[in-house]
Amino acid sequence: MAKESAPPPDLHGINLIRNPSRRFPGGRKLALILSAVVFVLVSSAYYPGQVFYGSTEPTHNSHQTANAGHEDNELDCNLFNGTWVRDLERPTYTNVTCPSMPDSKNCAKYGKQMDYVNWRWKPQGCDMARFQPQLFLNIVRGKTLAFAGDSIGRNQMESLLCLLSQVEAPTKVHSDTKDKFVTWHFRYYNFTLMALWTKFLVEDSQREINGTLVESHDMHLDKLDARLAANLHEINILVVSSSRWFFRINYLYEDGKLIGCIYCSEDNITSFSAISAIQRVFRTAISNLNSRRESRLQLTVVRTATPAHFENGQWNTGGTCNRTEPVGEGTAITSTIEWEIRNVQVEEANRAQKEKKQKGRMNIEILDITKLMSMRPDAHPGIHWNNEWMRGYSDCSHWCLPGPIDIWNELLLAVLNKYRKNMEDQ
C-alpha cells in the first residue's frame, strides 16, 4: 500500500468528502439544560418509566414481528431520538476488566480525561436499561453474530466483547493480521462473535497502476463480498455497515459491465455520486443476503453512518477533536454528507422490511445511531491512542472504550429482544 499518498484505511475517506468542516461554538448551553434534566432523572432513580427491555419475562414486544413491535411504541418511545443526560454511575467495564480492549481505543491509558463516560442516552418517551450481558448471551446462545463492515464495525464488536466479557471471558479462535477477520467464542453460551472486513459489502478489487496498488476499486454491485458470502452458512445475526470507502475513485459494475464511477475524470463513463452508489449497494446486498439458499441468517441489522468529528482541519491536515462535552442537536459538527448516507441506508432498510412482508424469511432492522453519535464529538480517541503507523494524527473517527459506542450494543440488545422468542425456537 502506498503509505505516502493514500489515507490509512482506518482514518481515510473523510478528507475526500467535498464538504468543508464547519465550526460551531457552544455545547455549554446544552450542558446547563442537561444538568437540569439530570436532577429530574437522578431523583427518579432507576428507570421508572417505560423500560424498553430487561424484564426477566419476555416483554410484549417479543411476541410480535419487528414491524408490529415498532408501531406499538412509536408514539411514546423513539429509541434513536433523544438526549444525552449526565449519569455519574460507572461504566460497566474498564480497561482492567476488559482485557481484549485494543490500545487504539484504550483512551484512558493514553491520558484522555474520562468525563465523556458520564453520560447516558435518554431516548424520547422511554428509558434504556443498563446493558444486561446475561440477557444478551441468553438470546444469542448457540448462535453466531457477525459485524460486516469497516474498522468502525470492528469498533462495535470490540465494545460488545468488553460488555460481554463481564460475564464470561471469551477465547479468540481465529484472527488474521490486523484483526481484519477475527472470531471469538463464548464457550459456556456457545456463542460465536465475528468481525468480517467487508468495506463495501459487495465484491471489490483494488486497482493497480504499474504494479502499485492505488486508492481506487472496481466494485461489483450485484455480487456479495466473497468473505461474507463464504460465512453465511454460519451466521444467524448480521450487522452491516459501510460508507466511508465509497468516497474515492471507484468503478461500478453490474452483471460484469461497467455502469459508472465515483469521482472519476473519464467523461465517457456515467458519473455516480457516492451516496447513490451506497444506496445501490445496500439495496442489492440486502436482497442478495435474503435470497441465498445456504444462508442461515435470521436477522440483518443495518447500522447507519457514524459521524467523524474533525475540526480545524482534516485527519491529515491537523484536524482535532478535543471537545469535552456532548453538543446539542442543532450544533451540527457532523457533515451533511453523513446524514445523506444515513437517509439512504434507512430508506433501503425500510424498503426491505416492506418487501419482507410479502416474501422472504430474513428479518431486517435498523440501528439508527447517526443522530445520537452526532452529538458526541467528545468521545473519539483524538490524540489519546497508540498505533505505530498512525502516530502523530488525531483519530476523530473511531470511538473510545468504554464510551457512547457501547450504546450501539444496548440498542442492539433492544432489537434482539424483540426476536427472542423466534430465536429460541430455531
Ligand X SMILES: *[C@@H]1O[C@H](CO)[C@@H](O)[C@H](O)[C@H]1NC(C)=O
Position 108 contacts ligand X (CB under 6 A):
yes
Our answer to whether residue 406 is catalytic in this structure is: no
Of 140 and 285, which has the nearer Cβ to ligand X? Answer: 140
Segment interacting with ligand X (CB under 6 A) among 13-21, 101-109, 349-357, 400-408: 101-109
Question: At what angle are helices 151-165 and 406-418 packed, to 10 degrees?
Answer: 80
Question: Of the candidates 19, 35, 50, 81, which one interacts with ligand X according to CB under 6 A?
Answer: 81
Start-to-end C-alpha separation, the chain: 44
Of 42 and 142, which has the nearer Cβ to ligand X? Answer: 142
Q: How far is the CB of 44 from ligand X (least distance, A)?
A: 20
- What is each CA distance from 356 to 82, 352, 375, in whole angstroms? 29, 6, 33
Q: Label residues 12-42 b or e (16+ Cβ within 10 Å = b).
A: bbbbbbeeebeeeeebeebbeebeeebeebe
Segment interacting with ligand X (CB under 6 A) among 16-24, 104-112, 147-155, 225-233: 104-112
Question: Of the candidates 21, 83, 144, 156, which one interacts with ligand X according to CB under 6 A?
Answer: 144
Position 75 contacts ligand X (CB under 6 A):
no
Question: Of the candidates 209, 255, 265, 425, which one interacts with ligand X according to CB under 6 A?
Answer: 209
Give the footprint of ligand X on residues 348-407 (CB under 6 A). Answer: none
H helices of 208-335, in order, are 226-231, 274-291
Position 142 contacts ligand X (CB under 6 A):
yes
Of 285 and 315, which has the nearer Cβ to ligand X? Answer: 315
Of 43 and 265, which has the nearer Cβ to ligand X? Answer: 265
Q: How far is the CB of 50 from ligand X (least distance, A)?
A: 17
Sign of CA dihedral 377, 382, 384, 389: positive
Position 78 contacts ligand X (CB under 6 A):
yes
Cβ atoms of 232 and 292 closer than 8 Å: yes
C-alpha cell at 112: 484522555
Segment interacting with ligand X (CB under 6 A) among 83-91, 223-231, 239-247, 265-273: 265-273
Position 5 contacts ligand X (CB under 6 A):
no
Of 132 and 144, which has the nearer Cβ to ligand X? Answer: 144
Our answer to whether residue 151 is catalytic in this structure is: yes
Of 26 and 142, which has the nearer Cβ to ligand X? Answer: 142
Catalytic residue among 62, 151, 165, 394: 151
Cβ atoms < 10 Å from Cβ of 75:
9
Question: Of the candidates 44, 134, 171, 190, which one interacts with ligand X according to CB under 6 A?
Answer: 190
Q: How far is the CB of 179 from ligand X (least distance, A)?
A: 18
Q: Label residues 179-189 b or e (16+ Cβ within 10 Å = b).
A: ebbbbbbbeeb
Cβ atoms of 262 and 243 closer than 8 Å: no
Question: Of the candidates 56, 265, 268, 358, which one interacts with ligand X according to CB under 6 A?
Answer: 268
Q: How far is the CB of 358 from ligand X (least distance, A)?
A: 26
- CA dist 401 and 165 (Å) reads 13
Would you give the binding string for ligand X spanning residues 147-186, x where CB under 6 A is met? ----------------------------------------
Q: How far is the CB of 320 from ligand X (least distance, A)?
A: 5
Our answer to whether residue 44 is catalytic in this structure is: no
C-alpha cell at 367: 440501528
- List the one residue out of 14, 21, 18, 15 whose CA is nearest residue 244: 14
- CA dist 140 and 201 (Å) reads 24
Q: What angle do CA 119, 123, 125 make, to 5 degrees?
A: 135
Question: Of the candidates 72, 74, 115, 266, which one interacts with ligand X according to CB under 6 A?
Answer: 266
Position 426 contacts ligand X (CB under 6 A):
no
- How many CA atoms lie within 13 Å of 245's alpha carbon, on the beta-carbon side? 27
Q: Name the helix (H) or strand (E) containing 31.
A: helix 28-43
Cβ atoms < 10 Å from Cβ of 213:
13
Of 54 and 328, which has the nearer Cβ to ligand X? Answer: 328
Catalytic residue among 150, 204, 368, 395: 395
Q: How far is the CB of 329 from ligand X (least distance, A)?
A: 7
Could you give phi then psi for residue 261, rounded to 5 degrees?
-150, 160
Position 118 contacts ligand X (CB under 6 A):
no
Burial class (CB in 10 A: 0-12, 13-18, 19+), 204: buried
Q: By the criterion CB under 6 A, which residues form the site for ligand X?
A: 78, 81, 95-96, 106, 108-109, 124, 142, 144, 190, 209-210, 258, 266, 268-269, 312, 320, 322
Residue positions annotated with a catalytic role: 151, 395, 398
